[in-house]
């Protein structure tokens, strides 16, 4: 935040309508930091009040509005009334001032983003978030109405939300007082049409119930992601406000408490007599919903679980693949239990080898229960211990030791999953029971090979893929009907083709084995993902999209299917669809840095800077958390570097990029990531060197290169143009 004294040479502006630029001085007192936005009244800037040494917001009124003396006089009267409102959820208005013919309003500067942008970024808000914001807005309005001040133009653009979820209502300075209605001519419309009640649209006198109607519109928009009454034309919008009721929130596929729908419906009554008489009543109702929501959140946390990597207690440390594999299988099994929220493998395995206790891990993952255990494998004998721990008090909800033969491993997984459901008082559906009782293979030896292969696969190295591939194929020799083994083999071939060696036989094998997996089990999500990857590499993008769509339908909680589908849509230029999928992927894996990083790219291409900045902040934070656990996580380094550079943290971006570059990477994805970093850093030669080397090692899709905003700084360079022409 700038606090230095400005130089005496800073230009001073005071001409009506003139642009104010960062660093310029306005009215001899305010140094401009940045423009915050534009609206019907004029432009708003963030500035430093050099007299008071604090940040303020300046709203510079348009000359065509300020030229009307009656309008300016009315603003002055309204500001006097607005200054009476002192409430935590109302932005403070200071003064209406004039300098060399330019009229402006000084206001409290509040860091954050307006609700309009938040809704656009999220698609729609969760019921919990919407209720929290709505309750705070209602409290601010209730205080204003107590002082006989009506906002008259309440809308998402006039509601600001900071990073901690605190809400401020803005622009009470243009509200009209209940006590000074005679200052406004009857028939004059002030406000935004789609948020106005019928009486305001018709130019009739209004009171606080006009804000109640607008509040209902805002709440509806938060929950559905769309305006209740906005239509293609002004005429149609007016007709909708006067004559139509919006569809119920549930019709938009949103599950909300019945009482919330009742609140919206009553707020949106056409007849003001049927609306709530005061916002105090609305505050009370929303607080009640929040309390029940908190209770449900507590219950949800109690019905959430993280499966920590089981310890390998075998004398042979190489058996760690088995304990890791068993952990992953348990995660997949528990995902089938309705009402149980299961933390992803990536999130759980991030705590492998750490010294944090169960409660600390539960707090970081926001879960109520932790499953931990150990595995001892000796020949054909297996000893598995498991403890289900309640995080809040450390009590054991369930504990068991299994001494069995290796061939009983699937039965143990089944029994463990059912016991956990019982301990958490969850009922297994018929579908879940069928899934748990289904064994993926008839060969324990084949299963063992797949577990070994998966451990190598997750190293994401060329040698790991090659060794894993041999194990997956050996598993298919032992059990020719092992669909999952074929899918894993296909994934190995696809990633070898994409990252390391774009040989045609890799692509052909990926197609062959993914098709085999689908033939054996058409309902296997992983098989459709494998087929989608193979088709993407074949540049059959429409067919690839179909496979990813099926995969996400079969397994809506699959991060991999959702994220890969989002990447495909981005490469195709389908930004809205890609953004929706990226947001879903982030919800599935909140600690992931890939999905918000992709979302930042999407918003950058869509020219939505505030949304892009928020996405990059989330990506950078997640990358930092990943690096705390694995300091050499190469992908976290270059993805985090891109986010840091985009956010202006150039030194962090450069340091992380150099760390990756110093390791002399030899895979396409890492080299490509480094190229993006150097491109954004303005180091053109290194960026071009990296991207050219990346293409030597693997297969990069031309469409991706054409859409990636990180490569924009080098896109016109003759070497890059020539490179694209060769693809």
What does the DSSP assignment read for 121-142?
A: HHSS--HHHHHHHHHHHHHHHH
Q: Is residue 4 part of a domain?
A: no
Q: Is the domain of 370 the same as that of 419?
A: yes
Residue 446's CATH number: 1.25.40.10
pLDDT at position 9 over 50: no
Biggest alpha carbon distance in the chain? Answer: 93
Confidence of residue 298 (pLDDT cuts 50, 70, 90): low
Same domain? For 414 and 493 the reply is no
Range of 116-120, 337-341, 481-485, 628-632 with top mean pLDDT: 481-485
Please indicate, yes or no, if residue 5 is contained in any of the structural domains: no
Least confident of 32-46, 132-146, 673-687: 32-46
Q: What percent of the chain has pLDDT over 90?
A: 47
Q: Does residue 420 sit in the same domain as residue 449?
A: no
The total of structural domains in the chain comes to 5
Domain residue limits at 487:
442-555
Q: Where residue 179 falls among pLDDT bands split at 50, 70, 90?
A: very low
pLDDT digits (tens, 9 = 90+) for 100-110: 889 998 988 88
Residue 22 scores a pLDDT above 70:
yes
Which of 434-438, 579-583, 590-594 has the weakest average pLDDT?
434-438
- What is the spatial distance between Cα 401 and Cα 380, in angstroms, rounded to a whole number? 17
In a domain, 328, yes or no: yes
547 and 589 in a single domain? The answer is no
Local confidence band at 182 (pLDDT 50, 70, 90 cut-offs):
very low
Residues 430 and 447 in one domain: no
- Residue 643: pLDDT band (50, 70, 90) is very high
Tokens 């207690």 found at: 313
For the segment 25-51, the average pLDDT, to the nearest whole number, is 87
Q: Is 627 exposed, middle or buried (0-12, 13-18, 19+ CB in 10 A)?
A: middle
Quickly state the pLDDT bin for 297 (edges 50, 70, 90): low
β-bridge mates for residue 402, sequence order: 384
344: three-class secondary structure by DSSP: coil
> What is the pLDDT at residue 7?
33
Output phi, psi for 278, to 5 deg. Answer: -150, 155
Do 117 and 260 reside in the same domain of the chain?
yes
> Is 3 inside a domain boundary?
no
Name which of 403, 478, 421 is nearest 445 in CA terms: 478
171 and 276 fall within a common domain: yes
Q: Which of 423, 438, 450 is nearest to 326 (CA)?
A: 450
Structure tokens at 446: 């084949």
Q: Are residues 288 and 315 in the same domain?
A: no
Say if residue 483's pLDDT is above 80: yes
175 pLDDT higher than 50: no
Helix axes 650-662, 668-681, angle to 10 degrees: 150
Is residue 541 domain-resident? yes
Q: Is 604 helix (H, G, I), strand (E, B) or coil?
A: helix
> What percentage of the chain carries pLDDT values higher than 70?
93
What is the pTM (predicted TM-score) of this model? 0.59
The token pair at 321 is 């693949």
Answer yes or no: do 246 and 390 share one domain: no
- For residue 110, give both structure tokens: 């509040």
* Of 75, 134, 70, residue with least CA distance to 105: 75
Q: How confident is the model at residue 187 (pLDDT cuts 50, 70, 90)?
A: very low
3-state secondary structure of 634: helix
- At residue 228, does pLDDT exceed 80? yes
Q: What is the rounded distance in angstroms from the CA atom of residue 75 to the CA atom of residue 408?
A: 79
pLDDT of residue 78: 74
* Residue 247: DSSP 8-state: P
Q: What is the helix (H) or strand (E) element at residue 560, kind and residue range?
A: helix 559-571
Q: Which of 389, 411, 413 is nearest to 399 (CA)?
A: 389
Backbone phi, psi, residue 268, to 5°: -95, 15
Residue 716, pLDDT above cutoff 50: yes
Q: Is residue 253 part of a domain?
A: yes
Q: Of 500, 535, 464, 463, which is closest to residue 670 (Cα–Cα)?
A: 500
Among 130, 380, 163, 123, which Cα is nearest to 252's? 123
Residues whose CB is less than 8 angstroms from the CB of residue 105 and which lie 6 or more positions away in sequence, other chains included: 58, 59, 61, 75, 79, 93, 94, 95, 96, 97, 173
Residue 562 within a domain: no
Give the CA distances from residue 231 to residues 237, 268, 418, 594, 711, in Å, rounded to whole numbers and listed in that order.
5, 17, 51, 36, 38
Instruction: Assess whether pLDDT exceeds 80 at residue 399.
Output: yes
Average pLDDT over residues 490-516: 93
Do both 97 and 132 map to the same domain?
Answer: no
Decide if 406 is inside a domain.
yes
Q: Which of 393, 417, 437 is the last residue of a domain?
A: 437
In a shared domain, residues 234 and 288: yes
List pLDDT tens digits, range 535-564.
999 999 999 999 999 999 998 878 889 999
Confidence of residue 176 (pLDDT cuts 50, 70, 90): very low
Q: What span, in angstroms and rounded, lies between the C-alpha atoms of 667 and 634? A: 11
pLDDT in tens, 355-372: 888 888 888 888 889 999
Kindly state the tokens that stand for 53. Answer: 């040494």
d(CA 191, CA 184): 13
CB 149 within 8 A of CB 172: yes
Dist. CA 604–CA 590, nearest whole Å: 21
Buried b / exposed e along 542-568 (16+ C-beta atoms within 10 A): eebbebbebbbebbebbbbbbbbbbbb
State whether 623 and 648 are in the same domain: yes
């Amino acid at each position: 935040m700038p606090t230095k004294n400005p130089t005496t040479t800073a230009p001073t502006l005071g001409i009506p309508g003139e642009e104010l630029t960062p660093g310029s001085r306005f009215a001899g007192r305010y140094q401009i930091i940045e423009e915050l936005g534009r609206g019907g009244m004029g432009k708003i800037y963030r500035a430093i009040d050099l007299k008071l040494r604090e940040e303020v917001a300046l709203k510079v009124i348009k000359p065509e509005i300020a030229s009307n003396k009656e309008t300016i006089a009315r603003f002055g009267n309204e500001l006097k009334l607005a200054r009476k409102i002192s409430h935590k959820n109302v932005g403070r208005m200071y003064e209406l001032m004039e300098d060399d013919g330019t009229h402006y309003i000084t206001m409290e500067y509040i860091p954050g983003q307006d609700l309009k942008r938040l809704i656009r970024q999220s698609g729609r808000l969760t019921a919990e978030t919407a209720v929290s914001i709505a309750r705070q807005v209602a409290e601010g309005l209730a205080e204003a109405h107590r002082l006989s001040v009506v906002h008259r133009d309440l809308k998402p653009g006039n509601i600001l939300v900071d990073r901690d979820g605190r809400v401020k209502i803005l622009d009470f300075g243009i509200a009209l007082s209940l006590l000074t209605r005679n200052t406004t001519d009857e028939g004059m419309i002030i406000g935004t049409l789609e948020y106005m009640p019928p009486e305001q649209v018709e130019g009739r006198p209004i009171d606080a119930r006009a804000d109640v109607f607008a509040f209902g519109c805002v709440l509806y928009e938060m929950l559905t992601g769309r305006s209740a009454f906005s239509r293609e034309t002004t005429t149609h919008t007016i007709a909708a406000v006067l004559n139509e009721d919006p569809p119920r929130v549930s019709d938009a596929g949103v599950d909300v408490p019945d009482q919330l729908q009742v609140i919206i419906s009553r707020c949106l009554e056409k007849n003001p007599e049927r609306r709530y008489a005061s916002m105090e009543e609305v505050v009370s109702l929303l607080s009640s919903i929040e309390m029940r929501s908190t209770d449900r959140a507590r219950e949800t946390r109690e019905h959430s679980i993280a499966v920590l990597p089981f310890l390998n207690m075998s004398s042979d440390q190489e058996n760690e693949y088995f304990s890791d594999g068993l952990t992953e299988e348990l995660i997949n099994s528990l995902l089938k239990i309705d009402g149980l929220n299961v933390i992803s493998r990536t999130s759980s395995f991030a705590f492998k080898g750490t010294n944090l206790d169960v409660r600390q891990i539960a707090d970081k993952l926001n879960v109520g229960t932790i499953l931990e255990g150990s595995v001892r494998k000796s020949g054909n004998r297996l000893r598995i211990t498991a403890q289900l721990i309640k995080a809040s008090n450390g009590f054991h909800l369930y504990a068991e030791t299994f001494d069995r033969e290796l061939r009983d491993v699937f039965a143990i997984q089944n029994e463990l999953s059912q016991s956990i459901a019982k301990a958490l008082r969850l009922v297994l559906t018929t579908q879940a029971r069928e899934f748990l009782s289904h064994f993926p293979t008839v060969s324990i030896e084949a299963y063992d090979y797949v577990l070994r292969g998966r451990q190598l696969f997750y190293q994401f190295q060329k040698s790991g893929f090659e060794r894993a591939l041999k194990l997956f194929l050996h598993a298919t020799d032992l059990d020719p009907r092992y669909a999952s083994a074929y899918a894993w083999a296909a994934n190995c071939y696809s990633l070898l083709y994409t990252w390391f060696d774009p040989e045609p036989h890799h692509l052909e094998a990926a197609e062959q084995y993914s098709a085999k997996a689908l033939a054996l089990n058409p309902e296997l999500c992983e098989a459709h993902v494998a087929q989608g990857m193979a088709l993407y590499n074949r540049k059959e993008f429409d067919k690839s999209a179909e496979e990813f769509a099926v995969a996400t339908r079969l397994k809506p909680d699959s991060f991999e299917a959702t994220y890969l589908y989002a990447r495909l849509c981005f490469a195709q230029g389908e930004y809205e669809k890609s953004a929706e999928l990226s947001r879903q992927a982030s919800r599935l894996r909140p600690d992931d840095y890939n999905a918000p990083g992709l979302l930042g790219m999407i918003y950058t291409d869509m020219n939505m800077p505030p949304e892009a900045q928020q996405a990059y902040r989330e990506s950078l934070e997640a990358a930092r958390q990943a690096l705390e656990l694995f300091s050499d996580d190469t992908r976290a380094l270059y993805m985090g570097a891109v986010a840091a550079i985009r956010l202006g943290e150039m030194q962090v971006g450069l340091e992380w990029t150099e760390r990756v570059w110093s390791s002399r990477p030899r895979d396409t994805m890492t080299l490509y990531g480094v190229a993006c970093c150097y491109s954004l850093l303005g180091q053109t030669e290194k960026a071009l060197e990296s991207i050219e080397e990346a293409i030597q090692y693997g297969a990069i899709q031309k469409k991706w290169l054409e859409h990636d905003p990180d490569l924009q700084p080098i896109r016109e360079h003759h070497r890059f143009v020539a490179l694209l022409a060769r693809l």
